[in-house]
Amino acid sequence: METAVIAVATVVAICASLYLFALSQVSFLKKNWPKYRCHPLYMPMAGMVGQDVSANFTKCTMKGFQDYAGFVMDPIMSQFSLFNSVIGDISGAMNDMRGMMSDTRNGFLGIVGTVFGKIENLMSQFQHIIIRMRTLLARVVGIMMSFMYIFYGGMQTGESVVAGPIGKTMSVLCFDENTPIQVSSGLTLAMKDLVIGDILANNNAVTSLYKINGKGVQMYLLDGIKVSGGHKVLYNNKFIPVSRHPHAIRTLESSMLACINTENRSFKIENYHFLDFTEVGDVTGVSEDTIISLKSADVSISEVVPGDILLGNDVVRGVVKHLIDDKIRYNLITEESIISPGNKVELLN
């Protein structure tokens, strides 16, 4: 117990002595604080001279680190400076070499340019002649191409007429509307009286009906069957135009024509086997409630008949009715076009 008391008394005495020593040094530290602020013995006494202990400690620590870092890094930076100097010398040497190569190249190109310039001067007259010949040939080719385009345009015009509505109408593959045809029930009907869905011989269903103005369509009699000359008929196991059949006899035009499409793409009338109308193109159409602007009134397409005049004076040559995806579709064959989806003739819905 006595030992503990003695130890405590000793510590208290030492602390008191230090405190008294510090008090005796306060005025000295205030005057010389910048000099002794980082001295380990005086750093704890920063508060006694009116300084922030934490800020003073941080500042002294950073100062010591900077002094030590400079001592360590200066030799390294010196080596980097030396390395940069070497790299700069090498770069300068390479630039000198590049300049020498550029001068050599420019000199060589100058010599080559001079030589070819002399050659070009010598060949200028010959070049002038070649240019004139090329110009002459270009004009000849231009004239030839003009003729080619003229002939090509004529061919395209002819093909357009033949393949277009007018050509299709003039080479109509149709029959006189009163041509008799037998249905599966055994009855014989006039072709104009057929309806879509009628079944012909061999279970052959009617899928389209055509009613076309017969004006200008050359007709033939084939053993009493009045049919257009362009219609295909089977002869010697080959389909040929009726006009080329040996039994065909040219006859008068019909005022109105009729034809059909069938599921089998062909059908029989009496002893003759004919192709149907679909050989001239794909089947398309618009709905029956599509409004067509006639010159006299606006009517649905199902009410239009051959001979009607459209707004714009285009004349209806034919009315076509198709069965497409179990729906009845219409289109019109006119003097100038076919009214169908996407056609230029305006449809009012």
Query: For the residues of 165-232, what is the DSSP string, one character each?
Result: HHHHHHT---EETT-EEEBTTS-EEEGGG--TT-EEGGGEEEEEEEEEE-TT--EEEETTEEEETTSE
pLDDT of residue 346: 37
Judged by average pLDDT, the poorest of 139-143, 157-161, 167-171 is 167-171
| Same domain, yes or no: 256 and 313 | no
- pLDDT at residue 349 in the model: 31
- Within this chain, do residues 305 and 234 fall inside the same structural domain, yes or no? no
For residues 241 and 292, state if they share a domain.
Answer: no
Looking at residue 57, its pLDDT comes to 76
First to last CA, the chain: 120
* Neighbouring-strand partners of residue 222: 225, 248
Residues 247 and 190 reside in one and the same domain: yes
The stretch 134-161 carries a mean pLDDT of: 80
pLDDT at res. 291: 92
Number of compact structural domains in the chain: 3
Task: Write down the pLDDT at residue 344.
Answer: 38
* Last residue of one domain, picked from the residues 280, 300, 324: 280
Residue 302 domain-assigned (yes or no) = yes
According to the model, what pLDDT value does residue 125 have? 74
pLDDT band, residue 170 (cuts 50/70/90): very low
Most confident of 49-63, 65-79, 91-105, 308-322: 308-322
Percent share of the chain, pLDDT over 90: 34
pLDDT digits (tens, 9 = 90+) for 329-345: 998 888 776 555 444 34
Q: Which of 229, 263, 280 is the last residue of a domain?
A: 280
pLDDT band at 33 (very low <50, low <70, confident <90, very high): confident
Asked, for residue 102, whether it belongs to a domain, the answer is no
Say yes or no: 260 and 311 in one domain.
Answer: no
Q: What is the CATH number of the domain that holds 264?
A: 2.170.16.10
Based on the fold, state whether residues 311 and 231 are members of the same structural domain: no
Report how far residue 340's alpha carbon sits from residue 290's, in angstroms, rounded to the nearest whole number. Answer: 10
Domain-embedded: residue 186: yes
Q: Are residues 253 and 180 in the same domain?
A: yes
pLDDT number for residue 81: 79
Mean pLDDT, rounded, for 163-185: 74
Residue 316 located in a structural domain: yes
Which of these three, 263, 280, 297, is where a domain ends?
280
Predicted confidence (pLDDT) at residue 160 exceeds the cutoff of 70? no
Do 183 and 198 lie in one domain? The reply is yes
Residue 20 included in any domain:
no
Q: Note the pLDDT of residue 18.
A: 62
Tokens of 254: 């019909």
Same domain, 241 and 293: no
Give 344's DSSP letter.
S
Q: What is the pLDDT of residues 219-248, one digit of tens each?
A: 999 999 999 998 999 999 999 999 999 999
The total number of residues written for the chain in this structure: 349
Tell whether 213 is covered by a domain: yes
Domain housing 334: 286-339
In terms of domains, do 326 and 253 share one?
Answer: no
> Is residue 245 located within the same domain as residue 329?
no
Is 50 inside any structural domain?
yes
Q: Report how far apart, in Å, the C-alpha atoms of 65 and of each of 21, 35, 45, 86 are.
A: 30, 18, 22, 32
Does residue 330 fall inside a structural domain?
A: yes
Summarize pLDDT for 73-120 with one digit per residue, the tens.
667 777 777 878 888 888 888 888 888 888 888 888 888 788 777 777
Residues 270 and 319 in one domain: no
